[in-house]
Structure formats: structure tokens, C-alpha cells
Amino acid sequence: MSILVIAELREGDVRHATYPAVAAGKKLAALLGTDVDVVALGKGAKAAAERLKDFGPKTAWWSEAAGVADYTAEGHAAALAALVKEKGYTAVLAAATTTGKDLVPRLAALLDAGMVSDVIGFAKGDAGTEYVRPMYAGNAEARVAVDTPVHALTVRETAFDAAAPGGMAGAVAELAGVGEAAGAKVVGYQFTKSGRPELTEAKVIVSGGRGLKDAAGVKLVEELADLLGGAVGASRAVVDEGLVPNDLQVGQTGKIVAPDLYFAFGISGAIQHVAGMKAAKVIVAINKDEEAPIFEVADYGLVADLFKTVPQLIEKVKEVKAKA
């Protein structure tokens, strides 16, 4: 009755989101008095399993077989379903990244398993394991019970601290009998090359909204982000305008972030945006509309024209940095 955590690989490397997922798996295992295994599929999976074996699993499974070499929901869900059935795992989980969201529901269907998305916590209750997850753009937290022998989960990576290495090294084992990805193949990727941290990992995020107006506004946001070693975020309006790529969208249907410091420039604070950033430790809002709802969640609010004040802020931060 142990737990299987699905690692996520990108161009042969373990993606950061895997570590909070492993931590969540270990926490759930501790609650239930059981063990954790991990599984890595795709190019670089053997090296990934070698690395992940030091993070507490009993076994780190891997496969680089043709059917799972590139990530596809079809190939990976089929291989994982076979593993879960063979080994009798009672919970299978992955981080709620775009890959986890694509993969785990399909896997749940293959396993006839009930699924809980975006888990932020769990506890033992009258109904067995009760999972906590946000609903309604984060305006409600639901307790959810799963009625099937196998539980399928995605976990919100910002809700769990990344797992650290330690304890006994686990075994490393190759999966046998991995089949093809039926009816699907990946023909290419276009990754946005950026020296900035990923939104879900950044300590500082500088975000802009409709108030940025155009590329010059985006430049201001980027300048402050680079000065602070932070990530750039955006509200949906900015993505809709095509000013920044889609995966910089912070919000209910984009990235859920939890940095130490979050700047919101020219962002009105629509429910959908706030859902994605209200877990930030400190929120700073600059908006010329004093009625903007963003001020309801901001720790520090400045009612001002961002085109005047953000350049001042950039200069001021440069001064502070020069002194430090």
C-alpha cells in the first residue's frame, strides 16, 4: 500500500517541481505509515533515478524505452498504469504542472481511480485520507475524500517545501515491458530561453497588468525583475495582448506562485489573478486607480502612475544595491 511519485523530466533533467512532489509523497507516506517510490520516464530517466534514489524512496524506477522517450500522456499513462497495477500502489501523485495536469487524469481513468487536483494538504479524517484543495479561484478550500482503492493526485508545488536528500539510498530499477505511445507523437518544442528563474521557484516576482499598455511597460517590469534576480509575471490581459508568452500568466488558470516578494504594477486585481498570487509573503501594488481591488490584498499599496514611479523604484533599488 505504498505511494508512487512521478518525476518530471525536461531535456534530460529533473524539473524542480519534482522535489515538492516527492516531499508531498513522503509526507503522505508518513501519515499513512507506508513507503514512497519514485518513477522517472523519458530521456535521462536512468540518471534521474540515480539522483532521486537519495531523496528517500525505497525504489526509483526508470525507463528510457522508445514509447516513453518523449513525454506523451498516452505513452506515460500506459506505462504508469501498468506499474501501479503490478506493484499495488494505493496513491500516485505528480506536481500540478502542465505535464502533471495533462497526465494524471488520463492515468486515473486507466486505473479507475478517483482524482484530486492541486492538493495543498491532507489529514486523516472520518472519511479516510481527506485532501485539501482550492476551488472557485481560491475563494474556497474543499476537503475531498476519494472512494476508490487507488488515489490519483496532483499537488501544488508551492504548498510543499522541496524534498532534501537524506536517509537510506533507495534501489534503482528499470521498468520492463514499456509499450508504445498509441496514436500520438511529439514533433518539436519551442522553449522560451530566459535567464530568469521560473515563476513557481522565484523568490521575487515582478508582474504587470493592463496598465503596462505596451512593450515599453513590459521593459520596466523586466528591468526591475532582472535587478532583483526575479521572475517576470503578467495578468491575463497582458497575455491576451500578446505582450508576453502565455506561461508567464499568473492566476487561477495560469501559474500559482508563492514568492517572498511580489510586485503588481498596473494590475487591477481581478479574482482570477489574485487566485494565483495571494500566497506571496509580501505584496506590493502600484496602480493609478485607488479603487483597484489589488489594494485589498497588497501589504503595501501606492496609488500612482506606474510609468513615473517604477523608474523611480528602479533607481532607488539600484542605490540600495550599490550600498549593500
Residue from the set 47, 82, 169, 303 that interacts with another protein by CB under 8 A? 303
Considering only residues 8 to 47 of the shown chain, the ones binding another protein according to CB under 8 A are: 10, 15
Residue from the set 109, 164, 176, 215 that interacts with another protein by CB under 8 A? 109
Considering only residues 180 to 219 of the shown chain, the ones binding another protein according to CB under 8 A are: 182-192, 198
CB 265 within 8 A of CB 238: no
DSSP line for 277-302 = HTT-SEEEEEES-TT-THHHH-SEEE
251 phi and psi angles, rounded to 5 deg: 155, -175
Q: State the Cα–Cα distance between residues 6 and 229, nearest whole angstrom.
A: 30
Return the HEC string of 12-56.
Answer: CEECCCHHHHHHHHHHHHHHHCCCEEEEEECCCHHHHHHHHHHHC
Q: Does 74 bind another protein (CB under 8 A)?
A: yes
Span of 56-64, 144-152, 206-214, 215-223 interacting with another protein by CB under 8 A: 144-152
With vertex at residue 297, the alpha carbon angle to CA 143 and CA 243, rounded to the nearest 5 degrees, is 100
Minimum CB–partner distance for residue 209 and another protein (Å): 15
Considering only residues 75 to 94 of the shown chain, the ones binding another protein according to CB under 8 A are: 77
CB 125 within 8 A of CB 114: no
Considering only residues 271 to 300 of the shown chain, the ones binding another protein according to CB under 8 A are: 271-272, 278, 281-284, 295, 297-300
- Size of site (CB under 8 A) for another protein: 91
Minimum CB–partner distance for residue 16 and another protein (Å): 10
Residue from the set 137, 162, 169, 173 that interacts with another protein by CB under 8 A? 137
Minimum CB–partner distance for residue 160 and another protein (Å): 17
Return the number of the residue (123 or 168) whose C-beta is nearest another protein.
Answer: 123
Considering only residues 45 to 64 of the shown chain, the ones binding another protein according to CB under 8 A are: none
307 vs 89, 249, 250, 283, 286, CA distance in Å? 55, 21, 22, 19, 10
Minimum CB–partner distance for residue 216 and another protein (Å): 19
Return the number of the residue (54 or 130) whose C-beta is nearest another protein.
Answer: 130
Helix (H) or strand (E) holding 238: helix 236-240
Considering only residues 244 to 263 of the shown chain, the ones binding another protein according to CB under 8 A are: 245-247, 249, 252-253, 260-261
Q: Residue 170 region, left (φ>0) first, then alpha (ψ -120 to 50), else beta?
A: beta
Residue from the set 32, 82, 145, 173 that interacts with another protein by CB under 8 A? 145
With vertex at residue 53, the alpha carbon angle to CA 48 and CA 56, rounded to the nearest 5 degrees, is 135
Minimum CB–partner distance for residue 291 and another protein (Å): 13
Which residue in 146, 44, 156 sits closest to 94, CA to CA? Answer: 156
Minimum CB–partner distance for residue 92 and another protein (Å): 13
Return the number of the residue (33 or 191) whose C-beta is nearest another protein.
Answer: 191
- Map residue 100 onto helix, strand or coil: helix
Residue from the set 47, 73, 162, 169 that interacts with another protein by CB under 8 A? 73
